[in-house]
Structure 1
Amino acid sequence: MSKNPPRAKKPNYISTTNACKLCKPLGACLAFKGIEGAVPYLHGSQGCATYMRRYIISHYNEPIDIASSSLSEKHAVYGGGPNLKLGLTNVAAKYRPDIIAIATTCLTETIGDDVGMYLREYQEDTKGSVGLPSLVHVSTPSYSGTHMEGFHAALGAMVDQLSAGGPANETVNLLPGFVSSADYRLLHEIMAAFDLNYTLLPDLSETMDGPALLEYEKIQAGGTPQKAIRAMGCSRATIEFGPTLGPLTTGGDILAAKFNTPLHRIGMPVGIRETDRFFRLLETLSGRPTPEKYAKERGRLVDAYVDGHKYVFGKRAIIYGEEDLVVGMCSLLTEIGIQPVLCASGGTSGRLAQAIAEVTGDTLTEQPQVFEGMDFYEISELAEGLSPDLIIGHSKGYPLARKCAIPLIRVGFPIHDRVGGQRILHLGYAGAQHLFDTITNAMIAKKQDDSPVGYLYM
């Protein structure tokens, strides 16, 4: 069996119906929220900021402020420079941020606003003023990509515009991409367990999943410190998760090109296979063996696979969402004996099929159909002939799961119809344990509910 099957032919395109992606500036705003003292700022209409705030809040159940230059019809004709500059002054005065991170929208990209020029003019006009924040900007028209492309573009801009060279140090840069707040906390724990000095970029562990407070914070505590970002060019290595990132210029690529920082790009550590790979890399970089805690977690996970294998083996799954998470989930399902029959994403990296082939190898009886640039209308059409037993992805797939009368295992972003989306653990042995238990219990519950008599014991 070929390890590199040809990509399946996409159905004839009609129009996008219920897209399997979100807009590019939304991803940029989320990346910026992982920076300490940062305020995301959209250069565009007020409606864009309102939509994104509502969308993000419904997943995280946390407040999020996104500033806007609030352009109107007049500014679409005469340009948005004056509003951009006035907004920067207002945000600086109201929030006292360390960084204002500006992302463009469709409107300002379409009219051709030169944001870089406006910011240079603003900095010249305010030269000598006390307490002004750093300014970072990124181009993110939503008609040119997905929220994941916006997320990585924002991080690339942050690294490109802030990082500097200097004497080498022992720090390791870790760029895990867009994962849950619980995943970021786990990564902090793992890096500390290997006794590594590290910079995690971004860091949404606290900014989007913080404790209850007596008083509202205009800028939530936490995030990657600006000082650490500026020093990333001095680090001895960068680890970046994402086998489908090749066409993008990511933070890891920029660090490698500008400062010759060695880049180790690996898959998201979802499941045993990919987590083993991550831990082997950490062993090499730290010179230490994997801590006993994680060896025991791995052992318990293997035991769980054995215990629950009979409930999941041979089941058929549809997976959709962000490309790198789809690859990671496909790797996990292959480990536990579930057959991925359809892997779909709204992204268009051109690398999804190859990345999936690499994590599944020759272990599947049939290779899954793999599609990029998909929407849920197309996914639903294909699902009818695949006889899936479960669907894995975010909340936007719920209508399909309901139509097929099969379980939806919620992972990734956005999760709007359940609480705790930001606390779902995907990475590491602990994340694999959580996902395996959730999938297995969903299969048991489905069989139990479908039984004419029901049963009390497995």
Structure 2
Amino acid sequence: MSKNPPTFSKPKKPNYLSTTNACKLCKPLGACLAFKGIEGAVPYLHGSQGCATYMRRYIISHYNEPIDIASSSLSEKHAVYGGGPNLKLGLTNVAEKYRPEIIGIATTCLTETIGDDVGMYLHQFAENTKGSVGLPTFVNVSTPSYGGTHMEGFHAAIREVVAQLSEGGPRNDTVNILPGFVSSADYRLLHEILGDFGLDYTLLPDLSETMDGPALLEYEEIQSGGTPIEKIKAMGRAKATIECGGTLGAMKSGGDVLREKFSVPQSQIGMPIGIRETDIFFNLLEELSGRPTPEKYVKQRGRLIDAYVDGHKYISGKRAVIYGEEDLVVGMASFLTEIGIHPVLCASGGTSGKLKKAIAAVTGDTLAEQPQVFEDVDFYDINEMAEQLEIDLVVGHSKGFPLAKKLNIPLIRVGFPIHDRVGGQRILHLGYAGAQQLFDTVTNRLIEKKQNDSPVGYFYM
């Protein structure tokens, strides 16, 4: 192993923009997933039909669940004359066919470029349909695909849902939980944890059922589950908000809106991945509930520490590249560092400007040498750097498979999208239970690599 690994600087931007295999997805895709976490919601793209088709296919491949995304189906003509009439007709059709409680409208490149004023169109639609019975609630968000990432679209949608639906009034005893974009299994785990603390809470969004439901005899046009609209309206009266995400400071978040508009106290923490970050989350829950951590989680934490000790000899000193959504990268860097693996490169297609500081906050007191951290990079950049770093594993979503295959090292699949395995929606990342699953996966993959590379193999650790 090289004692002096190469140090990289991000290549200077040319006078044109070129991306090779992006390490991010588009903003309206993230917004659609956020809307799917609301009860009775239909995501609606104001743009061309191709955008909705692409996003449906991409999301279905990860979740293995059906998802309908409506579209205003704009063509070349509407790029000249505007998409207002198509938007209004599409909303009418969706309202009649699906009978949704809410339609979440996100814009695409086309409508942002031509300057369609969706807010004005919705006002006109409301005037034209005044007195009609059974119309859904509308929420709209600006998500130009040519700028930002799917995570920015996700958080922008949550912000607008809160800003446009939440109401003030006398304080209630609920806690708002804004966990960010995690797996359906993670949302289910959060329900379990919050219930065990005896908290009255609102989880927004909630993809625990809408994107990972049971087999049914009859097809549901709108999947059951999601955060009820009435609970979203009451979020402005909550006693506190816990918001997960160490890189959210670059944009106004849902928690910021609740604090500024309704004076709801806000605690912004990192994603609770690994012991360190989960301890912070559980300490907050103790304060808000007035209860100690339930014994079952104390035992989970103890078993996790025991597992760290048992497996340390197999993973200590290994070197990893982490990539993906910024807050997931931060959480995984914290987790890998505490189990003895050195993240040498942390990369994301995001552009918050907060990634390096957030990584340092969770690794600075443990690592003698900080990881190299890069934002706004694609897989061409990541591959070039990773090939020179003598790494032992790659951590991220399925798009890193070509790199892992080329270097003949394990790929630990986390986050979104997972397109080359089943069960991406069931990968557990959060809490002590998530850390236990991640630890076992990482350790066993490294043992398997050593076993496969051995000329004679072995049957006993």
Interval containing the TM-score (normalised by the shorter chain): over 0.9
Structure 1 residue aligned with 2:324: 321
How do 1:275-424 residues align onto structure 2 when only pairs under 5 Å count? 275-424=278-427
| 1:8–1:370 contact (8 Å) kept in structure 2 | no
Tell me, yes or no, if structure 1 residue 77 matches structure 2 residue 106: no
- Distance in 2 (CA, whole Å) between partners of 1:241 and 1:215 is 36
Q: Structure 1 residue 139 and structure 2 residue 142: aligned?
A: yes
Q: State the match for 2:169 in structure 1.
A: 166
The separation in 1 between residues aligned to 2:112 and 2:101, in whole angstroms, is 26
Who is 1:10 aligned against? Answer: 10
Q: Where in structure 2 are the equivalents of 1:62-211 lying within 5 Å? A: 62-211=65-214
- The alpha-carbon distance between structure 1 residues 417 and 131, as it changes in their structure 2 partners (threshold 3 A), is same
The letter for the 2-side match of 1:11 is P
Contact 2:177 2:241 in 1 (8 A): yes
Q: Is the 8 A contact 2:364 2:370 kept in 1?
A: no
Report the TM-score, using the length of structure 2 for normalisation.
Answer: 0.97
Matched, 1:273 2:276: yes
Shift of 1:247: 1.1
The separation in 1 between residues aligned to 2:9 and 2:192, in whole angstroms, is 43
Q: Any idea what the Cα deviations from partners look like across 1:309-338, whole Å, max 9, x if unmatched?
A: 000000000000000000000000110100
Gaps of 5+ in 1: 1-6
Q: 1:59 aligns with which of 46, 62, 66?
A: 62
Question: 2:443 matched to which residue of 1?
Answer: 440
Aligned residues: 452
Find 1:234's aligned residue among 230, 233, 237. Answer: 237
Letter in 2 for 1:139: S
1:213 aligns with 2:213: no
> Counterparts of 2:291 and 2:103 in 1: how far apart (Å)?
39
Q: Which runs of 5+ in 2 are unaligned?
A: 1-6
Deviation at 1:8, TM superposition (A): 6.4
Could you tell me how far apart the structure 2 residues matched to 1:169 and 1:8 are? 51
Identity across matched positions, percent: 79
SS of residue in 2 equivalent to 1:101 = strand
State the distance in 1 between where 2:177 and 2:268 align: 10
Which residue in the other structure is 1:4 paired with? none
Alpha-carbon contact 1:269-1:328 (below 8 Å) kept: yes
TM-score after normalising by structure 1: 0.98
Q: Deviations over 1:413-433 (max 9, x none)?
A: 000000000000000000000
8 Å CA contact 2:159, 2:257 repeated in 1: yes
* Deviation (angstroms), 1:12: 3.2
1:231 aligns to what SS in structure 2?
A: helix
Paired with 1:358 and 1:131, the residues of 2 have a C-alpha distance of 50
Structure 1 residue 365: Cα displacement: 2.9
User: Deviation per CA, 1:69-122, whole angstroms, max 9, x where unpaired?
Assistant: 000000000000000000000000000000011000000000000000000000
Aligned-residue offset at 1:362: 3.1
Structure 1 match to 2:4: none
SS of the aligned residue for 1:457 comes to coil
Q: 2:423 & 2:442 partners in 1: Cα distance?
A: 17
Task: Report the aligned-residue RMSD.
Answer: 0.8
Residues of 1 paired with 2:407 and 2:390: CA distance? Answer: 9
5 Å-filtered alignment, 1:14-25, equals 15-25=18-28
